[in-house]
Amino acid sequence: MTSKPKAKKMVKSAGIAPETTGIDALRRLLREGAAIYEARRVGILESDDPEHVHQARVALRRLRSLVRGFSDMLTRKSADRLSDLLKSRFQALGPLRDADVHAEALSQTDHAEAASREAASLRADIREQLSSDKALSLKTEIEALLHDTNAVMRGARRQRLAASPVGVMASRALQTAWTELLSFGPDLRRLPRGELHEFRKRAKDMRYLSEFFGPVFNDDPKTMSKRMAGMQDALGIVNDIDTMRAAEASNETAPGLPPDADQIEADALRTAQKAWKKLRQIPPWWTGAPLS
């Protein structure tokens, strides 16, 4: 497996510093994330390694969190266009990612061959789609959407936020993301599955924004980010089991579930709840004034 791209590497490559303005930080990070996605796109075309699909989606998800966090300094139309651009690519890779996870989960069972065939078929389909795609590169499309500064940041309020040091928008985005998480309540086990899935997505926003912008604050987000990552891993397992169940329910020829799926799910949910309990006790690290 190839190494995972880290948000900190993106921040370093983009040259984000405390004095970087909000709009410059957004542009630079979007550009770096698009480059990571394009490299993984080539990997999908040339390799059967499932990690390329996974990391292409991670790169897109990071960028979606960035746009969501910084949407207050963009017009609604501009933010929606960026979000839709990233979402379409993210969703296109979803079925193959699910199939890869399914194949890995069933690799030691009697259903291994069927799951592997399904993943291979979807991989061939996505390669054909990517090869025939005549659209501009993701980087070029993003730059085109952000080209007209006046249209993207119409209004004095948006322009002030965009021209301020990045820490201003970052602290605003982090506080909003954290408040959204807290609104789900203290016990993840009480959440309906749809709500739990939404919580998982909002936790990704919080984690990725922390990784992007932690370096411009005085306090270190490492403790929160580490626990957030552990919670997300556990919730990812719960989500994978749910996805397999849904596939089995809708398709009689679906490969099926691991024999200990229920226990795997229960253990993962218990781990996630334990992490969430500890996370809620960590004081916000982004409330201090950003470095200047």
Buried/exposed 4-34: b ≥16 CB within 10 Å, e otherwise: ebebeebbeebebeeebbbbbbbbbbbbbbb
Buried/exposed 198-208: b ≥16 CB within 10 Å, e otherwise: ebbbbbbbbbb
Specify the CATH class of 7-279 in words: mainly alpha
Assigned token pair, 143 = 């730059």
56 neighbors 63 (Cβ within 8 angstroms): no
Question: What pLDDT shows up at residue 2?
Answer: 40
Question: What pLDDT shows up at residue 181?
Answer: 96
Per-residue pLDDT tens for 204-261?
Answer: 999 999 989 988 888 888 889 899 999 999 999 999 999 888 887 887 667 778 888 8
Between CA 118 and CA 135 the distance in angstroms is 27
Helix axes of 193-213 and 7-14: crossing angle, nearest 10 degrees: 40
Question: What pLDDT shows up at residue 229?
Answer: 92
Question: What pLDDT shows up at residue 12?
Answer: 73
Between CA 10 and CA 86 the distance in angstroms is 17
Question: What pLDDT shows up at residue 4?
Answer: 44
Per-residue pLDDT tens for 63-91?
Answer: 999 999 999 999 999 999 999 999 999 99
Question: What pLDDT shows up at residue 277?
Answer: 96
Residue 268, CB-side half-sphere exposure with 13 Å CA sphere: 18
Question: What pLDDT shows up at residue 231?
Answer: 96
Q: Which residue ranges in the chain fall short of pLDDT 70?
A: 1-8, 252-253, 288-292
Task: Tell me which residue of 25, 26, 23, 7 sits closest to 15, measured CA to CA.
Answer: 25
Question: What pLDDT shows up at residue 125?
Answer: 95
In single-letter form, the type of residue at position 269 comes to L
Question: What pLDDT shows up at residue 5?
Answer: 44
Question: What pLDDT shows up at residue 289?
Answer: 61
Residue 156, CB-side half-sphere exposure with 13 Å CA sphere: 0
202 neighbors 62 (Cβ within 8 angstroms): no
190 neighbors 144 (Cβ within 8 angstroms): no
Domain positions in the chain: 7-279
Question: What pLDDT shows up at residue 100?
Answer: 95
287 neighbors 202 (Cβ within 8 angstroms): no
Q: Model pTM?
A: 0.89
